[in-house]
């Protein structure tokens, strides 16, 4: 019944279209249709354009000004803020800290996570495989504020869990003000970050490993290749794409770190644990120097742009290879 | 032969070195598991302990199991933070997923004007970092009168997550066969009807994945929440926790209770929806 009437209407329109076919009218109609279809894109274009692209472009303009937020006065200062960047010791320190973040994260969240994933996938029991995967992932599901505060307590000298543990095993002379010392603060934060993040990449690697055909391992076993040999000759080469992608994503993440540093030290002591994000916050929202903060924002933008383009290039190249 | 007696799947592991290696790997898995879980358990148990017991006896189980600290934390503002978090998460999930599905449909099933440019524009938003937009956004939100409102967070969470969510749904729609929506079109259904009645049901599983990934993001987001809200009745859990810490930081037990209340819902959601969660994550990075 319903089907019948629908077919009838489509017949009708086909006849009408055939009778009055006019190339120009058709082209106009088709353009109108294309424009009308824009209604599907308009919501995303507006909200993304207005709240993502516009502020990021505006940030370049703000970075060439000095703004007084109390009087509302805005002065164009050209590239002054960028000259200040070059002379700012803390910016270089922050870049170094972001770099350290990247190095440690690649070691733990890519390579260690890969090894762990390979071990998990080597387990014969499916329930255990899922169990370990899920357990390691839990910290990644929790807010960095919670994990940051938790480790703030763990690192407390004398009363924190870490020192209590050191006392328990008789290493009390290693007891230390982990977050309160300029030399160790950033490492303590990075360690927390690895604790939180390795399970996420382990999970992704287990899925990449699952996609490798079992026959390859069976054949290798028949040929007498041991587990370690199989790891290096099968698992590693066949998950190389995922590894490459993970390295890029991890480095990109390392240059956008903010939450854990903010929660655990606020960049201190004596700016020793500042990263670019927290230094931007300090300059813009504590020192009210919006122009300079915007210039730091441009540095972060360049870092994310480079990693973003790398990612794009990597994905494209992979498509071509496959 | 002895191999006959060995159950399928288990290989003989008589070689002591192999046994030792396996034991070592198991020990590694277990110790990594303890390292991950113990701090979290310590946190949840800390919420039951008295403040003095946390200091004097960090490894012990609570002396008495009472919910006093949890109740105290609840009344110190966690109730308000939880409500804000729920509101912002639910509303921004609906707006993000709806706009993304709508856009993905247009980008895969219509002859939209300038489609390649629009695809590049929307998906390109994935590369842009919220930190970079921060300074202009503050001025923008102030002039829009949205500063210190839930709307500021809802709008920003939507704007910054539409690109990624559209990317996931679009990839899924591209892989769907076109037979069904073409059949519906021949039957005279309008584009709106095809979207609602054909595409949305077909995309149910990726939409569930997107909903869960967005909940995870919105529940845990800290940067925007910290910058754009500063009152107890607007702050979400992550930023509320830090202000609770600033005010009552000496009372470890209550802060632990507040942290546990904030972490528990998302851990439960993860456990109950793992399948969709993992699909979303792998689609996001693997495509």
Could you tell me the residue ranges of all domains in chain B?
77-286
The more confidently predicted of residues A99 and B3 is: A99
Cβ-Cβ contacts under 8 Å for B165 (sequence gap 6 or more): B96, B97, B100, B210, B213, B214
pLDDT at A20: 56
Q: Distance between CA atoms of A210 and B282, rounded to whole angstroms?
A: 12
H/E stretch holding A67: strand A65-67
Predicted-complex ipTM score: 0.88
Task: Encode A296-306: b = buried (16+ Cβ within 10 Å), e = exposed.
Answer: bbbbbbebbee
pLDDT tens, position by position, B17-64: 878 888 899 999 999 999 999 999 999 998 898 887 877 777 878 877
Q: Distance between CA atoms of B206 and B204, rounded to whole angstroms?
A: 6
pLDDT tens, position by position, B215-242: 999 999 999 999 999 888 999 999 999 9
pLDDT at B11: 54
Cβ contact, residue pair A149, B159, below 8 Å:
no
Mutation target vs B (from A153, A226, A238; most B CBs, 10 A cutoff) = A153
Q: Given B136, B188, B262, which is nearest A62 (Cβ)?
A: B136
pLDDT at B17: 82
How close, in Å, is residue B126 to chain A by CA atoms? 9
Q: Distance between CA atoms of A259 and A145, rounded to whole angstroms?
A: 7
pLDDT at A15: 44
Residue with tokens 């009308």: A36
Cβ contact, residue pair B237, A150, below 8 Å:
no
Q: Which residues of chain A have pLDDT under 50?
A: 1-18, 322
pLDDT at B219: 95
pLDDT at A226: 82
Cβ-Cβ contacts under 8 Å for B89 (sequence gap 6 or more): B214, B215, B218, B219
Write the CATH number of the domain with boundaries A83-321: 1.10.3720.10
The percent of residues in chain B predicted with pLDDT above 90, rounded, is: 59
Rounded (10°) angle between helices A89-106 and A80-87: 70
- How far is CA A231 from its chain centroid? 27
Residues of A in contact with B25 (CB under 8 A): 119, 122
- Looking at domain B77-286, its CATH superfamily turns out to be MetI-like (1.10.3720.10)
Q: Closest by alpha carbon to B249, among A272, A264, A189?
A: A264
Chain A residue at shortest CA distance from B26 = A119
Cβ contact, residue pair A58, B107, below 8 Å:
no
pLDDT at A320: 60
At residue B2 the predicted structure's pLDDT band, cuts being 50, 70 and 90, is very low
The per-residue pLDDT of chain B, averaged, comes to 88
H/E stretch holding A75: strand A74-76
Cβ contact, residue pair B113, A139, below 8 Å:
no
Q: Distance between CA atoms of A37 and A31, rounded to whole angstroms?
A: 10
Cβ-Cβ contacts under 8 Å for B52 (sequence gap 6 or more): none
H/E stretch holding A65: strand A65-67
Q: Kindly list the distances between the CA atom of residue B31 and the CA atoms of A13, A205, B159, in Å, as whole numbers in the listed order.
A: 70, 20, 41
Chain A residue at shortest CA distance from B52 = A159
Cβ-Cβ contacts under 8 Å for B65 (sequence gap 6 or more): B48
Q: How is chain A split into domains, by residue range?
A: 83-321
Q: Distance between CA atoms of B277 and A133, rounded to whole angstroms?
A: 13
- How far is CA B177 from its chain centroid? 30
Q: Distance between CA atoms of B6 and A74, rounded to whole angstroms?
A: 81
Residue with tokens 């609840």: B74
pLDDT tens, position by position, A52-103: 999 999 999 999 998 876 677 788 888 889 999 999 999 999 999 999 999 9
């Amino acid at each position: 019944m319903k089907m019948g009437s629908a077919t009838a209407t489509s017949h009708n329109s086909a006849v009408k279209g055939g009778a009055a076919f006019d190339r120009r009218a058709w082209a106009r109609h088709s353009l109108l249709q294309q424009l009308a279809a824009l209604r599907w894109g308009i919501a995303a274009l507006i909200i993304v354009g207005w709240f993502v692209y516009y502020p990021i472009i505006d940030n370049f303009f703000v970075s060439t000004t000095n703004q007084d937020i109390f009087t509302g006065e805005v002065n164009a200062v050209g590239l002054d803020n960028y000259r200040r960047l070059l002379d700012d010791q803390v910016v270089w320190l922050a870049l170094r800290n972001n770099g350290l973040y990247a190095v440690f994260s690649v070691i733990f969240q890519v390579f260690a996570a890969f090894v762990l994933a390979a071990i998990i996938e080597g387990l014969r029991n499916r329930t255990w495989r899922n169990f370990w995967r899920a357990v390691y992932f839990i910290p990644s599901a929790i807010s960095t504020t919670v994990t940051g505060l938790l480790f703030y307590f763990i690192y407390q000298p004398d009363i924190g869990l870490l020192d209590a543990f050191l006392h328990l095993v008789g290493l009390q002379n290693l007891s230390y003000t982990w977050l309160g010392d300029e030399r160790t603060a950033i490492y303590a934060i990075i360690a927390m970050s690895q604790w939180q993040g390795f399970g996420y990449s382990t999970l992704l690697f287990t899925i990449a490993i699952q996609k490798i055909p079992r026959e390859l391992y069976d054949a290798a076993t028949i040929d007498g290749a041991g587990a370690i040999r199989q790891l290096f000759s099968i698992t590693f080469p066949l998950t190389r794409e995922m590894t490459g992608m993970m390295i890029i994503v991890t480095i990109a993440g390392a240059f956008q770190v903010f939450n854990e540093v903010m929660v655990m030290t606020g960049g201190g002591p004596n700016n020793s644990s500042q990263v670019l994000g927290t230094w931007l916050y300090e300059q813009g929202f504590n020192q009210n120097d919006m122009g300079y903060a915007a210039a730091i924002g441009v540095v972060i933008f360049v870092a994310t742009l480079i990693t973003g383009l790398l990612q794009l290039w990597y994905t494209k190249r992979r498509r071509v290879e496959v | 032969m002895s191999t006959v007696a060995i159950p399928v799947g288990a290989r003989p592991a008589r070689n002591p070195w192999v046994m030792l290696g396996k034991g070592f790997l198991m020990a590694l898995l277990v110790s990594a598991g303890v390292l991950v879980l113990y701090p979290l358990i310590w946190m949840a148990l800390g919420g039951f302990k008295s403040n003095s017991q946390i200091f004097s006896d960090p490894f012990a189980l609570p002396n008495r199991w009472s919910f006093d600290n949890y109740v105290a934390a609840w009344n110190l503002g966690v109730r308000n933070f939880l409500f804000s978090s729920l509101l912002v998460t639910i509303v921004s999930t609906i707006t993000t997923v709806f706009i993304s599905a709508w856009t993905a449909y247009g980008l895969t099933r219509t002859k939209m004007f300038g489609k390649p440019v629009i695809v590049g524009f929307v998906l390109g938003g994935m590369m842009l970092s919220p930190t970079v937009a921060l300074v202009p956004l503050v001025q923008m939100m102030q002039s829009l009168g949205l500063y210190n409102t839930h709307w500021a967070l809802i709008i920003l969470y939507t704007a910054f997550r539409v690109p990624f969510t559209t990317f996931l749904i679009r990839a899924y729609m591209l892989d769907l066969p076109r037979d069904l929506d073409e059949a519906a079109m021949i039957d005279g259904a309008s584009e709106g009807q095809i979207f609602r009645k054909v595409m949305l049901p077909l995309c149910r599983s990726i939409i569930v994945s997107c909903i869960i990934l967005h909940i995870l993001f919105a529940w845990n987001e800290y940067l925007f929440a910290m910058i754009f809200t500063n009152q107890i009745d607007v702050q979400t859990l992550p930023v509320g926790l830090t202000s609770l810490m600033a005010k009552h930081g000496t009372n470890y037990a209550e802060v632990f209770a507040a942290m546990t209340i904030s972490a528990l819902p998302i851990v439960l959601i993860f456990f109950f929806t793992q399948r969709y969660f993992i699909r979303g994550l792998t689609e996001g990075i693997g495509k």
